[in-house]
Structure 1
Amino acid sequence: MDKVEQAYQEALQVLRGCASPLGLKASSLGSGYPQVWARDAPITALGALMTGDEELIQAVRVSLETLGAHQSALGMIPLNVDTRTGEVTTENAGAIDANMWFVLGHFAYHQTTGDAAFLRAAWPRLQAALTWLAYQDMNGCGLLEAPEAADWADLYSTRYNTLYANALYVGTLEAAAQLSAALDSASGEGQQLREQAADVRRKINLLLWLDRPWNGHEFGQQLEELRAMRLEWFFLYQNTATLTEKPFYLSWAGFREFGNTFDGFGNMLAILFGVADSEQTSSILDYAHAAGTDDPAPLKAFFPPIYPGERDWREHFRSRNLNLPDQYHNGGIWPFLGGFYVLTLQQVGMRGRAEEALHSLALANEKGRTRPWEFNEWLHGRSGRPMGHPLQAWSAGMYVCAYQAVRLGKIPALPLNLHSTQLGGQIPSFEP
């Protein structure tokens, strides 16, 4: 049995160990993340639902029920629920991506099972989750705003209009539109959601993709479009335009400042959800490989690392020795992100690179601090050695997802909308 196949079998064992009466724990280790997390569980579900394992499919359903049962009066989905006590955490509460992964988790479950009754019962909660998200656009610009550390990178310094949150928002809106259609809604809600997703796509590209025209007239038109859309963005562009062009999306834009690091997760989601066109997709993936964001294993969360003394360095990066350069969010390697990277390569037709990255990901998941096949949370960005918690659900789940995509040709239950120059068209949205 080769390493890729062995890793798949080991991943299934980790997933089964994460199943609990309240849903999928973030880790099968009792002391390492014994909670059902609003982002980890739906991400894990992308792989778990592809296995056809009824126990895992049921665990996904229960995860969604657990999270939905603790939705706030305003529609906020909790960051996590402790499987030992049933308590909801207040640490980093209000994470902007919790609601979005909750919607995407329901989409994945419905696409896999076709359970209309479950969707109909959950629909009021999904609508409330979308309403809460709408209020996170605090200035009416059409994009979501978020404070620092308000998403999966919960010890990092991205902020305000982040690539990750807004690319994820595109997928969330598309998923909600398809779920609305599945309910045969005559309200026109699905069309409104699709139009909103298209608007967010357009604004991400205007604000966070830098490719300044060399023709002065075209550049002036671009500036006028920004001015007409939002005057503050016109002023912001006076700063970002000094970069002229970038081969990837800016990680965030705030009040006349911006993030200039490569956001691995955000850029992969931008490709998967059709924010990036075929030319942008090639540029992003070429950069990701050339810059070594997939070396020694895929994929680094943010690159390059932020160092002490730089504008976006925070003293709390030193907390628990986590976010030092090349570690954790600050340039560390996250195997679950590696799964998204492999999936992206496969779906845009870069199948040779996808197979190579899958093998590299299998070797990364084999590494352990105390035992082989730890499916560790994160690895050092340079040494490639594991430094996080072992037996992570999303590390295993996204490996399963990547394996199924590359070796079996399956497509996960995501509202994919890719542009591919190699496959000559868009990829279908779902394949059971």
Structure 2
Amino acid sequence: MEAKQAALEVLLHNASGPVAGLPRTAGWGYPEPYTRDLMLSAVGILVSGSEELVATLGRTLTVLARNQTQHGHIPSMVHDPDNLGSSDSTPLFLIAVGLYRRVTGDHGFLDGAAEKALTWMQYQSPDDTVMVGQLPTSDWRDEHWVLGYGLYVNSLVHTHLRLHGRDEEAEKLSSLMNRLDVRRDVDNHHIHEGLVVPSKPYFAIYAYKVYNNERFDLLGNCLASLSGIASKRRSQRIVRWVETECSALRERGELAVDLPPCLLPYIRGDDPDWRPRYEGFNQAGEYHNGGIWPFVSGLY
């Protein structure tokens, strides 16, 4: 109860910030209205019971719709129509709109903007199926290389498709994601990339043609479980795997608390997916390379 009250106090404090009266991103940190953060907070806002917070969310979504691009892309900053390029801002907007409609009963809320956003997302599929691709550092991990069909973004897409009644597309996406991610030297155009890792219970962080990465993305796997991409049995196996890995990390002195890192295993300097920039921003066990993020832990 104390935690809920503390969270409400932060959300209410953030409800009106210094940028066009839009919400602050962080309680006493970032004053700017970052789309991603505010859309992620929509889940908590809509179950809070606070009319003030729900109204603030509705206003934020309306401003985002106003600043949407001609083709439907949602900007990374609520107030800035020129701050573009995020792979997750548009699906997060669609999720927030869908949830807002369900909670408020306003089923036509921002209908035009939502349709444009849905169309934009259709065109993010490189092979015109339903699985969307992304460029590196374009999602919430601005210091982590994720290429092509990413687990996190496609889990968001599956969620927004369900919320907007696109069940056939959602089923197709789930089916594609549940295929084996088989590393191969010769591209076979008859086999679509999947994200299931052989001999592991979890989904790979990304795959694209002859490239893939089988590290464990905590946020992506949590969303895959919550949205129904992962079966109940697979979800239970994922949790057991995470707890086992975290226990081993603590025994080795590589994890200090009883919370899971956002990435497992950590990327180290002699690993093939290590990048020189990680030296300054993304050391093993830090930031996007195994740091502990409260919003991710909350979903876990």
- C-alpha distance 303-65 of structure 1, shift in aligned 2 (>3 A): same
- C-alpha distance 172-268 of structure 1, shift in aligned 2 (>3 A): same
The answer for the alignment partner of 2:59 in structure 1 is: 62
Q: Distance in 2 between matches of 1:22 and 1:131?
A: 30
Q: Please report how far the alpha carbon of residue 231 of structure 1 lies from its aligned counterpart in structure 2 after TM superposition.
A: 2.4
The answer for the alignment partner of 2:135 in structure 1 is: 147
- C-alpha distance 62-298 of structure 1, shift in aligned 2 (>3 A): farther
The answer for the alignment partner of 2:273 in structure 1 is: 312
Instruction: Select which of 146, 168, 181 maps to 1:158.
Output: 146
Q: Please report how far the alpha carbon of residue 232 of structure 1 lies from its aligned counterpart in structure 2 after TM superposition.
A: 5.3
Q: Which amino acid in 2 is paired with 1:18?
A: N
Q: Which has the larger radius of gyration?
A: 1
Q: Which amino acid in 2 is paired with 1:156?
A: H
- C-alpha distance 253-58 of structure 1, shift in aligned 2 (>3 A): same
- C-alpha distance 17-276 of structure 1, shift in aligned 2 (>3 A): same
Q: Distance in 2 between matches of 1:40 and 1:89?
A: 18
Contact 2:86 2:139 in 1 (8 A): yes
Deviations 1:362-381 (A, max 9, x none): xxxxxxxxxxxxxxxxxxxx
RMSD: 2.5
Unaligned runs of 5+ in 2: 248-254
Q: Distance in 2 between matches of 1:156 and 1:124?
A: 34
What secondary structure sits across from 2:130 in the alignment? coil
Q: Distance in 2 between matches of 1:133 and 1:22?
A: 29
The answer for the alignment partner of 1:170 in structure 2 is: 158
Contact 1:23 1:66 in 2 (8 A): no
Matched, 1:104 2:101: no
TM-score w.r.t. the length of structure 2 is 0.88
Q: Please report how far the alpha carbon of residue 207 of structure 1 lies from its aligned counterpart in structure 2 after TM superposition.
A: 4.0
Instruction: Select which of 122, 126, 132 maps to 1:138.
Output: 126
The answer for the alignment partner of 1:274 in structure 2 is: 228
Structure-to-structure mapping, 1:193-208, within 5 angstroms? 193-208=166-181
The answer for the alignment partner of 2:25 in structure 1 is: 26
Contact 2:202 2:221 in 1 (8 A): yes
Structure-to-structure mapping, 1:346-357, within 5 angstroms? none
Q: Distance in 1 between matches of 2:53 and 2:24?
A: 12
Q: Please report how far the alpha carbon of residue 145 of structure 1 lies from its aligned counterpart in structure 2 after TM superposition.
A: 0.8
Q: Please report how far the alpha carbon of residue 171 of structure 1 lies from its aligned counterpart in structure 2 after TM superposition.
A: 0.5
What secondary structure sits across from 1:139 in the alignment? coil
- C-alpha distance 265-295 of structure 1, shift in aligned 2 (>3 A): farther
Structure-to-structure mapping, 1:322-341, within 5 angstroms? 322-341=281-300
Q: Please report how far the alpha carbon of residue 291 of structure 1 lies from its aligned counterpart in structure 2 after TM superposition.
A: 1.0
Identity %: 29
> Which structure shows the bigger proportion of residues in helix conformation?
1
TM-score w.r.t. the length of structure 1 is 0.62
Deviations 1:232-268 (A, max 9, x none): 54xx78xx99x74112111111231211111001101
Structure-to-structure mapping, 1:404-423, within 5 angstroms? none
Runs of at least 4 residues of structure 1 off by over 6 A?
Answer: none
User: Which one has more relative contact order, counting CA pairs under 8 Å at least 6 apart?
Assistant: 1
Unaligned runs of 5+ in 1: 178-192, 211-225, 342-432
Q: Which amino acid in 2 is paired with 1:315?
A: P
Q: Distance in 2 between matches of 1:104 and 1:162?
A: 18
Q: Please report how far the alpha carbon of residue 322 of structure 1 lies from its aligned counterpart in structure 2 after TM superposition.
A: 3.0
The answer for the alignment partner of 1:51 in structure 2 is: 48
The answer for the alignment partner of 2:7 in structure 1 is: 11
Q: Distance in 2 between matches of 1:198 and 1:244?
A: 22
How many residues are aligned here?
Answer: 287
Q: Please report how far the alpha carbon of residue 88 of structure 1 lies from its aligned counterpart in structure 2 after TM superposition.
A: 4.4
Contact 1:299 1:337 in 2 (8 A): no
Q: Please report how far the alpha carbon of residue 297 of structure 1 lies from its aligned counterpart in structure 2 after TM superposition.
A: 4.1
Matched, 1:73 2:70: yes
What secondary structure sits across from 2:33 in the alignment? strand
Q: Distance in 2 between matches of 1:116 and 1:201?
A: 26
Q: Distance in 1 between matches of 2:133 and 2:48?
A: 36
Contact 2:67 2:74 in 1 (8 A): yes
The answer for the alignment partner of 1:288 in structure 2 is: 242
Deviations 1:177-221 (A, max 9, x none): 1xxxxxxxxxxxxxxx2100000000000144x8xxxxxxxxxxx
Q: Please report how far the alpha carbon of residue 328 of structure 1 lies from its aligned counterpart in structure 2 after TM superposition.
A: 0.8
